[in-house]
Amino acid sequence: MNILILGYGKMGKIISEIAEGRGHHISGKINIENTSDLENLDPTQVDVAIEFSQPEAAFGNISWCLEKGVPVVSGTTGWLEKRGEVEGLCLAKNGTFFYASNFSVGVNVFFKVNAFLAKLMKDQAAYKVSMEEVHHTEKKDAPSGTAITLADGVLDKIERLKEWTLDQGQPIKESQLPITAKRIDPAPGTHIIRYQSEIDEIEISHTAHSRKGFAEGAVLVAEWIKDKKGILSMDDFLSF
């Protein structure tokens, strides 16, 4: 399979290594230094694109793929205010767009555990809910896309919480889920959800030991979507 790598930073390099190790050919590696090469790339020589770039580049990268009929797998966070436009373009072009805030199988199981716990705690108003996430210092967006997905899982189940907010020392409303975002090296990613009362505390957490799980998941998804159409997610891939 011919794979185009959009975003050749740390994640892109690991993805490239894993893909080649699985017998795939890398048909292009696009990063901030050679973005003009994308316009000269022959899309017929690309079976699927894997997009792990920067927030400011993601929309353009994904749109190029959909316009050219190239299935695209994206894991870039921090650009999702334009997700609706991308999904509309995907449908209009009868294309293939797969997005996940995290491609790790373990994290996606953790999403389900988080939602289940939130459902159990939805009527337990004595418990204050909070979240903490830790990533490496090169991660630009805060909170992380994974943290936002986890927050949405809580908000979907607990009606007294109306929105999440990044905790930067400001007063937190009763209706807000505070997220503390820390940037510490080296830290591939830790996410903790706490339910705290005067009596006790419940905590669930997930810690990634390396980026390999994310990268390997992205390559497996790329193999899976090659001949599929539509807007797809990890729920589709894992058949949750």
Q: Which residues are catalytic?
A: 135, 139
Q: Determine the length of the chain.
A: 240
Distance CA 6, CA 3 (A): 10
Task: List the beta bridge partners of residue 25.
Answer: 2
Q: What does the block give as tokens for 129?
A: 């809910």
> How far apart are the C-alpha atoms of 209 and 227, rounded to whole Å?
32
Residue-by-residue DSSP string for 41-60: S-GGG-SEEEE---HHHHHH
φ, ψ of residue 47 to 5 degrees: the values are -85, -35
Q: Determine the 3-state secondary structure of 90 from DSSP.
A: helix
Helix, strand or coil for residue 33?
coil
Look at the block and give the residue holding tokens 């986890």: 150
- Identify the bridge partners of residue 201 per DSSP, sorted by sequence position: 196
